[in-house]
């Protein structure tokens, strides 16, 4: 057995999950290879530390809190939630009312302007079609 094969199976070796013949090969390799023996010892120490830190102590009141919340829950989990529908619908209504009011205010914002004033402004902008530019340039 070479070192690469040993490193691939070291975790199974430490946890005792290897077949007897594979375990013999691993033991023989550990006797001959100093580097793999060092790796095996470090791995065993690391797993021991992780095993100590891994133990979680549950909260003793966790079960009672869960049971209390379950007993207070009157509606089923998949019940219709009115707020999830009501809020988006109200936002849509408010936006539509705002747009409508904006259009109405925009239409009524120029109350004194008549059709005659609008036509005179259009004539003023299109006056250059009737007047040649040469006399304008000769005046200078």
* Domains assigned to the chain: 3-54 (1.10.10)
Q: Is residue 85 very low, low, confident or very high in pLDDT (cuts 50, 70, 90)?
A: confident
Q: Which residue has the higher pLDDT, 66 or 111?
A: 66
What pLDDT is recorded for position 117? 52
pLDDT in tens, 86-113: 888 999 999 999 999 998 888 776 655 5
3-state secondary structure of 17: coil
CB-CB neighbours of 13 under 10 Å = 20
3-state secondary structure of 55: coil
Q: Is the pLDDT of residue 127 over 70?
A: no
In order of 39, 44, 60, the CA distances from 22 in angstroms are 18, 18, 44
Tokens 């007897």, residue located: 20
CB-CB neighbours of 63 under 10 Å = 10
pLDDT in tens, 10-59: 888 888 888 889 889 888 988 888 898 998 899 989 888 887 777 777 78
In order of 81, 92, 115, the CA distances from 84 in angstroms are 6, 13, 50
In order of 21, 123, 137, 140, the CA distances from 132 in angstroms are 110, 16, 10, 15
Token pair in block for residue 30: 């550990």
The whole-number average pLDDT for the span 112-140 is 58
Distance (Å, rounded) from C-alpha 67 to C-alpha 125? Answer: 80
Q: Is residue 71 very low, low, confident or very high in pLDDT (cuts 50, 70, 90)?
A: confident
């Amino acid at each position: 057995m070479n070192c690469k094969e040993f490193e691939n199976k070291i975790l199974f070796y430490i946890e005792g999950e290897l077949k007897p013949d594979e375990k013999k090969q691993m033991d023989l390799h550990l006797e001959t290879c100093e580097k793999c023996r060092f790796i095996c010892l470090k791995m065993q120490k690391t797993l021991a530390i992780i095993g100590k830190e891994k133990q979680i102590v549950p909260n003793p009141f966790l079960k009672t809190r869960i049971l209390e919340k379950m007993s207070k829950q009157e509606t089923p989990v998949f019940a219709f939630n009115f707020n999830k529908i009501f809020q988006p619908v109200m936002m849509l209504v408010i936006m539509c009312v705002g747009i409508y009011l904006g259009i109405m205010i925009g239409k009524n914002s120029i109350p004194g302007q008549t059709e005659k004033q609008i036509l005179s402004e259009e004539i003023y902008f299109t006056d250059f079609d009737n007047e040649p530019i040469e006399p304008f340039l000769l005046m200078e």
